[in-house]
Structure 1
Amino acid sequence: MSDRPRRSTRQAAKGPVPAAVPTSNTAGAASESSRDTSKAAAKRKAQAVDPEQWLNSLFQNPKSILTTIDISDVFNSGAWGMLSDESRGELKKLLPPTAFVGYKPTLGRDHPASQIDEKETDDMDVDVPTFFTDPHFLAAARTFQDHIYSNWLSDTHIAKVAQFNRDLESGAVAVSWKDEQWLEDNPPIHPELASSNASNAMGRTASWNLALAGGATQIKLAALVEHGIIRIGDVLAYRRSFTMSNLTIEKDVIVDDIDSSTYALTVLAAPSTTKALPQITTPLPNAIQSMTVASPTQLEGGLLDIDGRFDKSNRPNGNAWKNFSVWRWRTPGDCGDQTNGRGGRDNHGTLFYLRGNYYHEEFRG
């Protein structure tokens, strides 16, 4: 190895760099930059967030920071202690009465729910530090976070809920009748009309109108009578609520006779607004009403005329098949449970239900 000394790798020291002499161009650029900074600051000041708008965004926006943090970092005894007495008083007004130790149940002493040991009640006090770590409070606070995240606290959603409640009160969004919903989910199939029995049961030889509520709508009352679904001695119980008039009309009729050729029903009903029929042991009064009908709609109209509380010109449309239920003894002459007001008869379902069963057994079975 050579004894020649190595050259040092250390960088040579550099002298001071002279400052650049400002020219007219650099001075103009600096002045322009200063003006831009002033404009940006003024713009930020002009766009200062409105406190009310910021709070609305914090408590209503699904992307609010409150939906991502641990809520106990905000709602805790430390934060509560930093508030003034006036602020605490305002916040306490938002809590239910049961949140305070001084709460007393308002139930009577004879109520079973009031027979509790006062020492074992779940009363709470906001000024107690453990209030903010109680599982009930934390569950409610986290539910509050979920409501913000789900956009349930926004003005738009609150307006939709208010509109929905108004529609419920007016009946505009009433739920479909369960039988109609079933027909929508299970559309009927065209039955074979080759046999004459099918034509007779339909009461007509025309094609089925399946676009409405299904093939069962073409079944006539005479078909049910002919096949023994409605018999002499049956009670047809009528009930209909007229929501617009806040009136519910109930009336029972008994099948007294059946025409052997047309299968029209002759029924008996109590006069005026009387609902129940006379008992078997009571002689029929002279004022008992009798009528012969061939359809539920005709029977409903006759009963409303007898009742007399609802003017014919103001009666709304409806499905009379759903307003009548058939009551029958289990066996001929069986008195059954006399306490039900219909001579111990059992409820066999509405005419709408019985018609649907008959249709599916005869034509879809």
Structure 2
Amino acid sequence: MSDQSPKQPIKGRGAASQLAGRFDTRTVESESDGWDIPDQEEFAATRLETEISEESARSIITYNQSPDVGFSRSINPYRGCEHGCVYCFARPTHSYLGLSPGLDFESRLIAKTNAPALLRKELAKSGYQAEPIALGINTDAYQPVEKTLLLSRQLLEVLAEARHPTIIVTKSALVLRDLDLLNEMARQRLARVYLSVTTLDNRLSARLEPRAAAPHARLKTIERLAQSGVEVGVLLAPVIPTLNDAEIERILKQVREAGAGNVGYVLLRLPNELKALWREWLELHYPDRARHAISLIQQMHHGKDYNPSFGIRMRGSGPFADLIEQRFQRAYRELGFQPFDDMECSLFTPPRLPSAQGDLFDPPA
């Protein structure tokens, strides 16, 4: 049961309502009684606290055969993401849990607390063949709750022990905490980090992705990683017509100067419930350009808000999509970006499983 009524922006949150999931059977709609006074702070939308529950997952490696992504397997230690990016394509997955893709997605998180042990078990299976594995795709592995739960750190320790090639995708400076592991892995061509950079405009970033690292912090993170010898790339994701598409060349220039070796981009994707969430957000924050923004998106997806077809869902089609592609490719060439070499897969060694005898022969503490 979800409240679908339009809300005021909530401090520190991307969504503004508990949009009903597509599997919900009942909804609740709020109606003003005339006593609300929006200009007074006491009547503004209240702060929403984050709740974390635990899950014992049955498996941890997810496999895919998508031609649109550069990896065949991934690990997601968390369901939901506190960064609160309103454009996140993973929001609709919360509907499978009976939760809202809106505020629930960024405030009711699930931690897969057995993820490190599961990963060790799955990597140790007979016949497992190593290929680059992406850490943090549906949701950011370095979102704020990782500071205390350390699940991503523990997963990276298992991957480092097994000498397994690993790709990290994040928009958090917290990834620098694990430089000790990443440095050693990078020396063996086993680690690569991509920073997601959406905009260089602090105000826009605070509205789009309220709990993610600020743009200048992401540039500093790129710089630190590159200086440490870790291969670092950037994803300009998503490109949003009327909001950040004018920044393409400037973003590529800034991340190149910070030390990024390669860069890619993804067009805004609006699957399932995300269509309604996006419209609500536009009306709240940029009502003057909402209709134009939606019109341009539809022009790039054959008249629809979203086309899930491979080859189109990430890039779009049509004149405006072609223009974005041409601008991106020109800046890419002029700034000297280069595709990364293949990662090292031949060093993989299955990790040791816990012994049934435990610490029988370990020296006393």
User: Same fold by TM (over 0.5)?
Assistant: no
TM-score bracket for the superposition, by shorter chain length:
under 0.3
**TM-score, normalised to structure 1's length?**
0.19
The structure whose RCO (Cα within 8 Å, separation 6+) is larger is 2
Looking at secondary structure, tell me which structure has more helix per residue.
1
**TM-score, normalised to structure 2's length?**
0.19
